Amino acid sequence: MCGIVGFAGKTKCIPIIYSGLEALEYRGYDSAGIAYIYNDKINIIKEKGKLINLKKKLDFDINSTIAIGHTRWATHGNANITNAHPHQVGKFTVVHNGIIENYIELKNKLSKKGYQFKSETDTEVISALLDYNYKLEKDILKAIDKTKKELIGSFALGILCSDDIKDIYALRYSSPLILASFTNGNFLASDIPAILNYTNKYIILENLEIAKINKETITIYNKDLKEVKHSYHTYNGEKSNVQKNSYEHFMLKEINEEDKVYKNTINSYFDGTLKSLNENFGFLKKYKKIDIVACGSAYHTGVIAKSLLENYANIKVYTEVASEYRYKKCFYDKDTLVILVSQSGETADTLAALRKAKNDKIKTLAIVNAIDSSIAREADYVLYTKAGPEIAVATTKAYLAQLTVFSLITLYLAYINNQLSSKEIDNIIKDIIKLPRLIKKEINNYQIYYNIADKIYENKQVFFIGRGLDYANSLEGALKLKEISYINSVAYQAGELKHGTISLIENKTPVIAIATDEVIIDKTISNIKEVKARNAYVIYVSSINPKDIFYDDFIKIEKVHPILQSILTIIPLQLLAYKVAKNNKCDIDKPRNLAKSVTVE
Ligand code: F6R
């Protein structure tokens, strides 16, 4: 959601800023703009829609060495040129990620002082406030400091001031910002991919710190305006991770990486012995109650984990979406652990839920993919998923890695709570070891799922049904399909359909019925027969061969222990969604209206 790149250096900056913005495209945006210094003046170029539209307006050869660039995901006002960043008021030009909650009050105050506004954005108000405070303080740093104290909300800012055309200023609160340098200059950026063409070393700007960046140096001021030094972090992922290579879409590439992602995640915490689980998860022993909080797909892994932890480890789990949890009464006790699940580690609601738990002195565990992200840094404990950078907006491999961590946690807690026999533990370990091969096999079966996609892609609605764990799998299958193909797909508990929803079943309505849970499979099959009797087009997804034919298509998945089963169940559903979206000519990696990193509430 929104991306910032700033560069001050000894070399032409437009190509650098543009390639940085391209690297941040995956976050989601609907307009873009650049402000650059040329002939001692700040020049602004903006365009709505994709970066390619902006590219047509840019002079890549212009002799400018200082610029800030931005991709905007509309929050306040439509996606048009006026609302696109940068926003200039008086001497200040600003790019912004985040949301200013008190912008109406500030706008009213500044309007009374004579400021006029062209856009509907909260960002333009920041530019005006900076300009106003600069008139009072007569010092850029002090003006930024005063401004940060008046803003309520979240903000990562890149700032240019026409009285100081050698420097870029940066400020952040709640939204992330990194700083980096290489031989030809210095950067600010909202995310690591923006700098990877030049360096893999970066500094994390902390909340309420201000940075001043020019071609020679990066200077950081803490919240009291005292100069501070931060050490550099190193990003060790492959740079090629963020290229599409020969794949048509990032989503397809990322699904094809799932066996490796699974292996990397397992290998980080488990060497085949229970001792290794104890070393990595021993801290979990003392918690008797778990809250799992996350958004979207990450929330779905929490729904699966609830089912696993309750059924196999005998631990009481409460799972909730973060946007609800953060405003809800929570019934904590001293041995509650709150687990936050997030790919980006920057999701605003999940971060707020984490802070709520910490505020109540409850211990927190982050299961996070992005190293050094806000959620990873603020939680008491962190378990990293090893998915590597995920570029497609729709999560696939990071989701699978989250499930992998939850499977290991369930195995460990089930073991220490004496819920599994040693024979069952041995069988689970055997399954853990053979899973990469089974994941690959399922991916290689893509043609089966593609053939089914070819039959259903023109439908306006698709239903997913399942019971228990399979209902949780249905939730993710339905989300994957709707977010990239724009088909209205919804998940229901299979037994719940006849209480209303079954009235929507018409001739040939696709129903994707998931049944991997042997204990309850007969009940699910009865529900499938109910929709089949109403002429639904049934796609049966199961690890168990059916005794009779009540389906139109059958996706057979490999059978493993239920603690691991969902890792396999999701793969055909991801590939099915992919092909449906492809047939519908959708923008698979960047679905409309969506952002990869949801940094606003
Ligand atoms: C769906 C998807 C989203 C994210 C959600 C949370 O494919 O990607 O539903 O799962 O926005 O994001 P993270 O995991 O970054 O907190």
pLDDT tens for each residue of 507-533: 999 999 999 999 999 999 999 999 999
pLDDT for res 364: 98
Segment 35-53 shows an average pLDDT of 96
Give per-residue pLDDT as tens, 311-342.
999 999 999 999 999 999 999 998 999 999 99
Segment 5-18 shows an average pLDDT of 97
Segment 346-375 shows an average pLDDT of 94
- Identity of the amino acid at 174: S
Segment 584-588 shows an average pLDDT of 96
Q: Using 50, 70 and 90 to split pLDDT, how confident is the model at 269?
A: very high
Query: Rounded to the nearest whole angstrom, what is the distance from the C-alpha of residue 596 to the centroid of ligand 1?
Result: 7
Give per-residue pLDDT as tens, 132-173.
999 999 999 999 999 999 999 989 999 999 999 999 999 999
pLDDT for res 239: 60
Query: Rounded to the nearest whole angstrom, what is the distance from the C-alpha of residue 484 to the centroid of ligand 1?
Result: 13
Query: Rounded to the nearest whole angstrom, what is the distance from the C-alpha of residue 317 to the centroid of ligand 1?
Result: 21
pLDDT of 466 higher than 80:
yes
Q: Using 50, 70 and 90 to split pLDDT, how confident is the model at 373?
A: confident
Give per-residue pLDDT as tens, 388-416.
889 899 999 999 999 999 999 999 999 99
pLDDT for res 499: 94
pLDDT of 366 higher than 60:
yes
- Where b means 16+ CB within 10 Å and e means fewer, 393-420 reads bbbbbbbbbbbbbbbbbbbbbbbbeeeb
pLDDT for res 151: 97
| Nearest atom, ligand 1, residue 402 CA | 14
Q: Is 2 a catalytic residue?
A: yes
Phi-psi sector, 225: left (phi>0), alpha (psi -120 to 50), beta? left
Indicate if ligand 1 lies below 6 Å from the C-beta of 385: no
State the chain's mean pLDDT as an integer. Answer: 95
Q: How many residues does the chain have?
A: 601
Range in 50-54, 240-244, 358-362, 428-432 with the lowest mean pLDDT = 240-244
Ligand 1 pocket test: which of 249, 344, 482 has the largest number of ligand atoms within 8 Å of its C-beta? 344
Residues 6 or more apart whose Cβ sits within 8 Å of residue 61: 12, 14
Considering only CA atoms, which residue is closest to atom 4 of ligand 1?
296
Considering only CA atoms, which residue is closest to atom 3 of ligand 1?
296
Segment 570-579 shows an average pLDDT of 98
Indicate if ligand 1 lies below 6 Å from the C-beta of 483: yes
CA 120 from chain centre, in angstroms, equals 27
Q: What is the largest CA-CA distance in the chain?
A: 81
Indicate if ligand 1 lies below 6 Å from the C-beta of 342: yes
Ligand 1 pocket test: which of 385, 395, 574 has the largest number of ligand atoms within 8 Å of its C-beta? 395
Query: Rounded to the nearest whole angstrom, what is the distance from the C-alpha of residue 415 to the centroid of ligand 1?
Result: 31
Segment 348-356 shows an average pLDDT of 95
Give per-residue pLDDT as tens, 426-452.
999 999 999 999 999 999 999 999 999
CB 157 within 8 A of CB 172: yes
- Identity of the amino acid at 288: K
Angle at CA 364, nearest 5°, toward 358 and 367? 140
Segment 236-259 shows an average pLDDT of 83
Indicate if ligand 1 lies below 6 Å from the C-beta of 374: no
pLDDT for res 238: 60
Query: Rounded to the nearest whole angstrom, what is the distance from the C-alpha of residue 598 to the centroid of ligand 1?
Result: 8
Report how far residue 569's alpha carbon sits from residue 577's, in angstroms, rounded to the nearest whole number: 13
Report residue 317 as tokens: 């789990």
Q: Using 50, 70 and 90 to split pLDDT, how confident is the model at 240?
A: very low
Q: Using 50, 70 and 90 to split pLDDT, how confident is the model at 289?
A: very high
What strands, in cross-sheet order, belong to the sheet with 164-173? Answer: 87-89, 92-100, 153-161, 164-173, 210-213, 218-221, 227-228
594 CB neighbour count, 10 Å cutoff? 17
| Nearest atom, ligand 1, residue 598 CA | 11
Indicate if ligand 1 lies below 6 Å from the C-beta of 347: yes
